[in-house]
A and B are shown apart, each in its own frame.
Chain A
Amino acid sequence: MAKFSKKRGKAKPAISTASLPDIIFMLLFFFMVVTVLRDAELKVKVVTPFASELTKLEEKSLVNYLYVGKPTQQYQNVYGTKPRLQLGDKFATVRDIPLFLEKHKVKLPENKRDRITSSLRIDGEVTMGIVSDIKTQLRKSGQLKVNYSAKKKAEK
């Protein structure tokens, strides 16, 4: 037994923590790059359907989001359970879409404006009525690039 205690007493194990900040910074940068800061609090429930033919949205600044779904529990006594449209962080009607698109557009340089994509994040259980109205409104406002948000379907 003496052997063990002797050894322990002699060695002074101290792990150098000098490189710890570097490691943490590495992790930090990873998360900073990966992070998509959530711009709007979701007031509607959106569970996007599954699909296989997906395209990735590239430039985040060129994308505007339209959410459609049932209002979440806390808004149901005010807004009911019918599917509603959410633009930015508030409930809206289809008539508010042109103004919303225009507000997003003026922030961008002119040469990029024709690459704006509208991402439609629509709950799978919503009926097509409201979706058609939105599509018609988008077409009328000249916003033709549309991305139906969907999750990747597992390969069979």
Chain B
Amino acid sequence: MAKTSSRDRMNNEINAGSMADIAFLLLIFFLVTTTIVEDKGILVKLPIWSEEEPDITKLKERNVFAVLVNAQNQLLVRGEPMRVEELKDFAKEFIANPTNRPDLSEKPTKAIISLKNDRGTEYGTYLSVYNELKAAYNELWNELAQKKYGRDYSEDMPYAYRKAIREEIPMVLSEAEPTAFGEE
């Protein structure tokens, strides 16, 4: 075969010496443009917009966990001032009500958390309050999942398991229209 012999003769090879330089160039470009930002946050499902305000006066008072945050970033939980650090444990106790106290929720499915803030509240405070309330639910879900299935509650769990847990302890967090007393 003449063809092959000619190929052999030419012994062609692309010079790969500059490959490293090209790769370096690209590497440096990506190094400079990179921002290793972990996009994380608190996932929230907002309620569907409706013109009329939900009526919470029909609910029994013992089932409502009212959290108010004023423009000075102070908390009022069920009529008592409280620090953010204490909120999680109190919320957990309220939802689960292990000792069947008459002033806490009848059962987890009936518990409702009502969060109300002012237009002057700092967003950081609002988010930490929200975070604590979510943490309370997360811990309760974890405890229930450990008891039922022997593992922590997580997104990797089978959907049926998650659904069963969410049905037993549903997260009901209602956010009222903020007040406008404070300075924005």
Contact = CB atoms under 8 A, between A and B. Distances in A.
Interface of A: 17-18, 20-21, 24-25, 27-28, 31-32, 34-38, 48-57, 60, 63, 68, 117, 119-120, 122-132, 135-136, 138-140, 142-152
8 closest residue pairs by CB, A with B: A124-B124, A129-B119, A24-B23, A31-B30, A139-B49, A129-B184, A149-B41, A147-B41
B178 A128 contact: yes
B31 A31 contact: yes
Contact of A148 (B41, B49, B121, B135): B41
Contacts of B120: 127-129
At the interface, is chain B mostly helix, strand, loop or mixed?
Answer: mixed
A111 B30 CA distance: 32
Most B-side CB within 10 Å, residue of A31, A68, A120, A123: A31
Contact of A140 (B39, B49, B124, B128): B49
A33 B134 CA distance: 32
Contacts of B37: 36
Please classify how large the interface on chain B is, using the bins under 10, 10 to 19, 20 to 34, 35 or more: 35 or more
Contacts of A35: 30, 33-35
Given A38-B35, A150-B42, A49 B30 contact: no
Contact of A37 (B33, B38, B47, B130): B33
A127 B177 CA distance: 15
B119 A132 contact: yes
Given A128-B121, A139-B47, A150-B41, A21 B19 contact: yes
Nearest to A47: B124
Contacts of A150: 40-42, 127, 131
Most B-side CB within 10 Å, residue of A38, A49, A125, A149: A49
Interface in B96-142: 117-124, 126-128, 130-131, 134-135, 138
Contacts of B180: 129
B46 A138 contact: yes
Given A34-B36, A146-B46, A148-B127, A24 B119 contact: no
Contacts of B44: 146-148
A92 to B, nearest CB: 18
A128 B41 contact: no
